[in-house]
Amino acid sequence: MTAWSTVGPLAVLFGAIFTNNILLTNYLGMCSFLAISREVKSAVGLGVAVTFVMTMTNALNWPIYYYILVPLDLTYLGFIVYIIVIAGSVQLVEMIIERVSEPLYMTLGIFLPLITVNCAVFGAILFMFIRTYTFIASVAYGLGGGLGWALAIVAMSGIRQKIAKAKLPKGLEGPGITLITAGIMALAFMGFSGMIPAN
C-alpha cells in the first residue's frame, strides 16, 4: 500500500544538510540552541551527539513502524514509541560520551538529556514517515538531518561569538539578534535549492 518515495539516499542526505535543513527550513531544534552556542566547541559536541541520536532513532523507528505498528494497526501510538526509542538512544549516547570524553560530558551538562525532547530529532522521525522514505533513505535523512542541524548550530555559534563584541540596540541582544541571524542564514540556504534536481 505504501508508495515508496523514489528519492535516492544521497539526494536525501545532501538535501537534509542544505536545501531541506531541519533548523533553517523546518524551524526545528532551536530550543536547546540559544544557551549552548556560546562556544563553537560545545556546539560541535552537541551537534555530533544529536547527529548520532537522529541517525539511530531513524534507523530504529523505521522497522518498528512498518513491521510492528502498521500490521497491528497501532500507528496512533507512534508518538509514544518514538519518544521511548529517543530516550533510550539518548541514554546510550550519554553513556558513550561519559566514557569517551569526560570534559565534553561536563560541558554539555543538562543538554544531553535534553536531546530527548529536541524538536529536530522528533521532527526527523515524523518527516521520514510522511515522505515515505525507504529504510536507507530514512537513515540517510537522520544522518543528514543531524549534520545539517549541527552545521546550522555551529555556524550560528561562530557568528554569535563574533558579534558578541558588537554594539547592539538593547532590545536586540540575545534572542532577537539570533533570530535575525537565523533568518539571514535561512535565506542563504535557500540559495542551495537548485542543488538537488528533482529526478
Partner 1 sequence: MADIAARAPAPAVRKAKKPRSKAAKAFFDGIGKNNPVFVQILGICSTLAVTNVVKNTIVMCLGLIWATAMSNVSVSLLRKWIPARVRMIVETLIIAVWVIIVDIVLRAYMPDISRQLGPYVGLIITNCIVMGRTEAFGLANPPGLSFIDGVSAGLGYSYILLIIAVIRELMGSGTLMGIRILGPWWTNWSIMVMAPSAFFLLGVLIWIVRGKILKEEKK
Partner 2 sequence: MKQRILTVLFTIAITIVFVAPISFVYLLTKGQVALNEEVFLKRAVLAAAGITVPLANAEVVSLFSARAEEVKAGDDAPASYRITSEAGGEPAGYVFIRTGPGLWGEITATVGFDAELASLTGVDFLRQSETPGLGARISEKWFTEQFRGKKGPFTTVGEGEPASESQFDAITGASITSNAVMSILNSTISQAKGLVK
Q: List residues near partner 1 by CB under 8 A.
A: 24-31, 33-35, 76-77, 79-80, 83, 87, 109-111, 113-114, 116-119, 121-123, 126-127, 130, 169-172, 174-180, 182-184, 186-187, 190
Q: What nine digits make up the cell of 99?
A: 566514557
Q: Choose from partner 1, partner 2, none: what does 64 bind? Cβ within 5-8 Å by kind.
A: none
Q: Which of residues 66-105 bind partner 2 (CB under 8 A)?
A: 76-77, 80, 84, 87-88, 91, 95
Burial of 63-83, coded b for 16+ CB within 10 Å and e otherwise, reads eebeeebeeeeeeeebeebbb
Residue type, 95: M
Cell 547592539 found at? 168
101 or 193, CB closer to partner 2? 193
Contact 49, 118 (CB under 8 A): no
| Interface contacts to partner 2, rule CB under 8 A | 3, 5-7, 20, 76-77, 80, 84, 87-88, 91, 95, 130-132, 193, 198-199
